[in-house]
């Protein structure tokens, strides 16, 4: 598969969609995701993970690709995956905003 149709191409689309979605959420909800501090932010992540895990208990158990393909709900498993990814991005962005050394250092894969 050539680079144009490889996974990296789609990662750029995913990231752009996330930035757009987070921008809209910021306009609508502000910083409500961190209103209760780090513990609240962690619980938000945990609840989303729990929701994803609950949806993967059917057969084939934990086959996330199969479950996404079969899920025909308008706001299904893929939406929960998007939400979790965006929440994780918010946590890292907040740490970068606060100039936390671990968050602003170069990741081993980017060196």
Nearest-angstrom CA–CA distance, 59 and 8: 30
Choice between 95 and 109, residue whose per-residue pLDDT is larger: 95
Task: Report whether pLDDT(106) > 90.
Answer: no
Mean pLDDT check: name the lowest of 1-5, 14-18, 80-84, 88-92.
Answer: 1-5
Q: Tell me: the pLDDT tens digits for 18-57?
A: 999 999 999 999 999 999 999 999 999 999 999 999 999 9
Nearest alpha-carbon partner for 75 in 57, 48, 43: 48
pLDDT band at 4 (very low <50, low <70, confident <90, very high): low
C-alpha dihedral over 68, 74, 77, 83, to 10 degrees?
Answer: 130
């Amino acid at each position: 598969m050539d680079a144009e149709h490889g996974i990296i191409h789609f990662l750029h689309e995913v990231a752009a969609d996330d930035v757009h979605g987070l921008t809209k959420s910021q306009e609508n909800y502000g910083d409500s995701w961190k209103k209760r501090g780090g513990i609240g932010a962690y619980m938000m992540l945990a609840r989303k993970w729990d929701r994803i895990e609950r949806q993967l208990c059917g057969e084939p158990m934990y086959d996330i690709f199969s479950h996404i393909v079969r899920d025909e709900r308008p706001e299904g498993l893929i939406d929960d995956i998007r939400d979790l990814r965006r929440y994780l991005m918010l946590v890292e962005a907040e740490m970068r905003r606060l100039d936390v050394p671990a968050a602003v250092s170069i990741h081993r894969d980017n060196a």
